[in-house]
């Protein structure tokens, strides 16, 4: 037999939190084609999983386009580019369709300087000796 541990919904206070975006998936729902955008939110040392559902829309006011513009600038993008990015999210408490408390991602912005690159990217350091051959 397989043991199942029911997922516990942890509700956090409204506010901005550092987060990392997981692998974005296209899903067919009763509302049509949607994107499932999973976030791992750092809530003061606890990692809280919050899923955001976005319409697959290129409209300038869609959350998908607005979020991409925040992270990538005003350019064409692929939804796969979201995976692994660190950002900051504004989490607000609300209710799901059954009236139970639920966390929602309401806004997104780039991570503070130097924290937006995916974990798997190499951090490149610059040393003063790199500039010894440059005349001033």
pLDDT digits (tens, 9 = 90+) for 12-33: 999 999 999 999 999 999 989 9
Does 40 reside within a domain? yes
Does 67 reside within a domain? yes
Cα distances (angstroms) measured from residue 59 to each of 29, 76, 84, 134: 20, 13, 24, 47
Does 50 reside within a domain? yes
pLDDT tens column, 42-69: 998 889 999 999 999 999 999 999 999 9
Does 132 reside within a domain? no
Provide the number of structural domains found in the chain: 1
Sign of CA dihedral 31, 32, 38, 39: negative
Does 5 reside within a domain? no
Q: What does the alpha-carbon distance between residue 129 and residue 74 come to, in Å, rounded to a whole number?
A: 36
Q: Please give the model's pTM, rounded to 2 decimal places.
A: 0.76
Range of 116's domain? 15-120
Domain of 106: which CATH number?
2.40.50
Does 85 reside within a domain? yes
Percent share of the chain, pLDDT over 90: 68
- Residue 104 pairs in a beta bridge with 92
Does 102 reside within a domain? yes
Does 29 reside within a domain? yes
């Amino acid at each position: 037999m397989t043991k199942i541990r029911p997922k516990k919904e942890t509700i956090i206070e409204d506010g901005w939190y550092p987060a990392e975006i997981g692998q974005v998936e296209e899903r067919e729902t009763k509302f049509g084609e949607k994107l499932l955008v999973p976030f791992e939110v750092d809530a003061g040392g606890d990692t809280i999983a919050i899923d955001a559902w976005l319409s697959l829309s290129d409209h300038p006011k869609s959350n998908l386009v607005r979020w991409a513009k925040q992270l990538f600038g005003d350019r064409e993008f692929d939804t796969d580019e979201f995976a692994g990015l660190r950002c900051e999210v504004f989490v607000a408490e609300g209710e799901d369709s059954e009236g139970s408390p639920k966390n929602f991602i309401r806004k997104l912005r780039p991570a503070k300087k130097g924290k937006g690159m995916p974990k798997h990217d190499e951090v490149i350091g610059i040393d003063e000796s790199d500039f010894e051959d440059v005349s001033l």
